[in-house]
Amino acid sequence: MEKTWRWFGPNDKITLEMLRQIGVEGIVTSLHHIPNGEVWSLGEVEKMKNYIEARGLRWSVVESLPVSESIKYGGPDRDQLIERYKESLANLGKAGVKTVCYNFMPVLDWARTDLEYPNADGTSNLYFNRAEFAYFDIHILKRPGAEADYDAETLRRMNTEVLPRMDAEAEHRLVDNIIVKTQGFVNGNISENDKEPVEKFRSLLALYKDIDRDKLRANLKYFLEAIMPVCDEYGIDMCVHPDDPPLQILGLPRIVTCADDIRWLLEAVPDSHNGLTFCAGSLSGGAHNDVVAMAEEFAPRTHFVHARICKVLPDGDFKESTHLDPRLVKIVRTFQNEDRPIPMRVDHAPLMLGDEKMGYNAGYSFHGRMLALGMVSGIMAAADADRKAE
């Protein structure tokens, strides 16, 4: 695999010079300053590419070229937005940037309830607490019918463990974690400048009131069929990011949650440029997924790897596990043994050794990710050595 790193552009506190020192070979980034739905001009693409190359690295992956909401729910302007998406892809292709990550999650990109959950060793990490999420859905969002979507044990925990400790400040923090802090920096729908994030969120949810899984699938197929000719012409690999968490949430349809979903997606548009971002971390947030088997099954259509993994607790909460988790060791070996250098970045590492004071984007610490990259690099080297010995 190619060792890459998610970098948020020239304003990122973690510089490309720093990344070269720690063994990073390729950069994963986006043109974060261009609003969703606008064309990425060739000039803007080349400017970013040149900036990266002038510092001895290459732009390996775009994460993300965001898919506008209207393409997902099938709004009246979707064809126009798809045309713009195709133009952006063509410009990336002309500049030689040929791996593009995107997601098809309605309204909300990834979701966590806690961004600094303390670990026993003094570091902290991201955490998803089901009962807190239910509290957000039922008591803050007040989504009609929400209660019916949670099992009795989650509701019991919500009433006995979460409700008693909730006050205005705790509610504010929960909203911030679930729909603000995790969304702005990934060019999501809600940003830190929004005054009424919950109101805005409700109106976004309303866009999907008539969209079920089948309709969302049809819209994804429509989008992929429309862009594949451009991908074929320029050799661009599209890599859908799985839904994080891989569950149906907030009454929204989610269609990249399990092996069957991925099989459907790859078969619906059989072009090899329709591929996957294998995010072991997202997929492992659901106890239904055997991520080790999924890596083996989907490796041939995987064009980008996110190396991290979660542990699901008995109550359905999940937290990030170590990058040396035996399941991740197997997954890294699977992709390292493919005979193409698939770009791989580590993901969602702990905050440690002062990271917590730096104001990094949630999940994107420096020391934590550096340690994780060291671990994953070790697994890769071991896989190579075993192959040579064979």
Annotated catalytic residue 231: no
Annotated catalytic residue 288: no
Q: Given 101, 135, 150, 241, which residue is catalytic?
A: 241
Give 310: exposed, middle or buried? Use CB within 10 Å, 0-12, 13-18, 19+: buried
For ligand DNO, give the closer residue by CB, 138 or 237: 237
For ligand DNO, give the closer residue by CB, 12 or 109: 109
Question: What's at 153, amino acid-wise?
Answer: E
For ligand DNO, give the closer residue by CB, 157 or 308: 308
Instruction: State which of positions 161-220 bind ligand DNO (CB under 6 A).
Output: 186
* Cα angle 102, 300, 339; round to 5: 110
Q: What is the 3-state secondary structure (H, E, C) of 149-194?
A: HCCHHHHHHHHHHHHHHCCHHHHHHHHHHHHHHCCHHHCCCCCCCC
Q: How many helices (H) and strands (E) does the chain have?
A: 14, 12
Which of 101, 180, 283, 332 contacts ligand DNO by CB under 6 A?
101
For 203-215, b/e burial (b = at least 16 CB within 10 A) is ebbebbeebeeeb
Which of 29, 68, 99, 103 contacts ligand DNO by CB under 6 A?
103
For ligand DNO, give the closer residue by CB, 243 or 317: 243
Q: Given 303, 348, 355, 367, which residue is catalytic?
A: 348
The least CB distance from residue 167 to ligand DNO, in Å, is 29
Annotated catalytic residue 364: yes
Residues in the chain: 390
**DSSP per-residue string spanning 68-128:** PHHHHHT-TTHHHHHHHHHHHHHHHHHHT--EEEEE--SS--S--SEEEEEPTTS-EEEEE
Which of 5, 40, 73, 102 contacts ligand DNO by CB under 6 A?
102
Instruction: State which of positions 58-77 bind ligand DNO (CB under 6 A).
Output: 63-64
For ligand DNO, give the closer residue by CB, 63 or 114: 63
Q: Is 92 in the site for ligand DNO (CB under 6 A)?
A: no
Annotated catalytic residue 241: yes
Annotated catalytic residue 306: yes
Question: What's at 92, amino acid-wise?
Answer: L
> Which residue ranges make up the site for ligand DNO (CB under 6 A)?
63-64, 101-103, 109-110, 186, 241, 363
Residues known to be catalytic: 241, 279, 306, 347-348, 364
